[in-house]
């Protein structure tokens, strides 16, 4: 059943909104427990072990700025980019000293390069065609300084098939003004399209909406040819929080992709561990 029909059947009273539009107003309340600070330390600890001390950073798919904030407080000069104007409006209000730009991950051009580029919280899984992901990786590499690093996490193919226990999460979250938002997010895997479909239902003071999000899972074997084609010099895959190599049952893993220095050759085959 198509996602839109499935959504309407289950949430007949809710207004269907495009992805990451209405959700912007309640996103931070629902995601209050996400480990953004720990993720920032995870990224920066890796770079320190590599002898890298980034000063400038581009946060792709930055959303409401929740992923950008921890890097700002750790002293980096951060630029955030996202396709959703609704999300960026929240981000700009929350982090008034940070530059935020609206743009498409597949086609953006900022005319500058950064020491570090991040794309967190499985945002790249929203690119549901491999060539689209390849485009995003190429644009990211073009915006990295020589020796710079792109860091991102993705849900694996297994992770997208089995996203949540019982295929749903539900709860109440408190907004900054004290109002409560009830959310019920359900997951459906479409084997024919090999996509995970998330229906994000929210109710706030009687107003109901639902957004339908689609994700494709990517395994390390899917990413390697795309990273090579994008021109990265080397890369490493690891799990949070200990950088362990992903295994067959890994649901989510991280990629640390290094932009080559001038004259540094590309790997002929798979990556070498950093």
**Angstrom distance (rounded) from CA 125 to CA 138:** 16
What Cα–Cα distance (Å) separates residue 207 from each residue in 7, 170, 223, 274? 16, 17, 40, 50
CA dihedral 246, 247, 248, 253 (to 10 degrees): -20
Per-residue pLDDT of the chain (274 residues; tens, 9 = 90+): 333 334 444 566 789 999 999 999 999 999 999 999 999 999 999 999 999 999 999 999 999 999 999 999 999 999 999 999 999 999 999 999 999 999 999 999 999 999 999 999 999 999 999 999 999 999 999 999 999 999 999 999 999 999 988 899 999 999 999 999 999 999 999 999 999 999 999 999 989 999 999 999 999 999 999 999 999 999 999 999 999 999 999 999 999 999 987 766 555 443 443 3
Please report, for the chain, the start and end positions of each structural domain, with discontinuous segments joined by +.
3-30+159-215, 36-155+218-259
Domain 36-155+218-259 has CATH 3.40.50.150: yes
**Angstrom distance (rounded) from CA 161 to CA 154:** 13
Q: Which of 218, 219, 157, 162 is nearest to 187 (CA)?
A: 162
pLDDT for the residue numbered 10: 56
């Amino acid at each position: 059943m198509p996602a839109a029909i499935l959504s309407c059947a289950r949430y007949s009273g809710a207004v269907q909104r495009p992805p990451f539009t209405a959700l912007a107003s309640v996103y931070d309340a629902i995601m209050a427990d996400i480990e953004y600070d720990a993720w920032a330390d995870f990224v920066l600890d890796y770079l320190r072990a590599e002898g890298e001390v980034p000063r400038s950073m581009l946060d792709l798919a930055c959303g409401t700025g929740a992923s950008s904030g921890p890097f700002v407080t750790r002293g980096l000069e951060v630029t955030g980019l996202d396709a959703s104007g609704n999300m960026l409006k929240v981000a700009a209000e929350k982090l008034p000293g940070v530059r935020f730009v609206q743009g498409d991950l597949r086609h953006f051009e900022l005319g500058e390069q950064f020491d570090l580029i991040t794309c967190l919280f499985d945002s790249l899984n929203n690119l549901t065609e491999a060539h689209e992901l390849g485009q995003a990786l190429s644009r990211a590499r073009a915006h990295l300084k020589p020796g710079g690093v792109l860091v991102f996490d993705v849900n694996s193919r297994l992770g997208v098939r089995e996203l949540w226990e019982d295929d749903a999460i539900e709860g109440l979250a408190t907004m900054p003004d004290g109002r409560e938002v009830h959310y019920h997010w359900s997951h459906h895997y479409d084997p024919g399209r090999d996509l995970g479909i998330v229906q994000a239902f929210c109710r706030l003071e009687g107003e109901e909406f639902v957004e339908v999000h689609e994700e494709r899972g990517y395994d390390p074997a899917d990413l390697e040819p795309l990273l090579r084609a994008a021109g990265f010099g080397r890369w490493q895959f690891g799990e949070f929080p200990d950088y362990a190599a992903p295994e067959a049952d890994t649901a989510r893993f991280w990629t640390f992709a290094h932009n080559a220095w001038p004259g540094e050759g590309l790997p002929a085959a798979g990556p070498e561990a950093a």
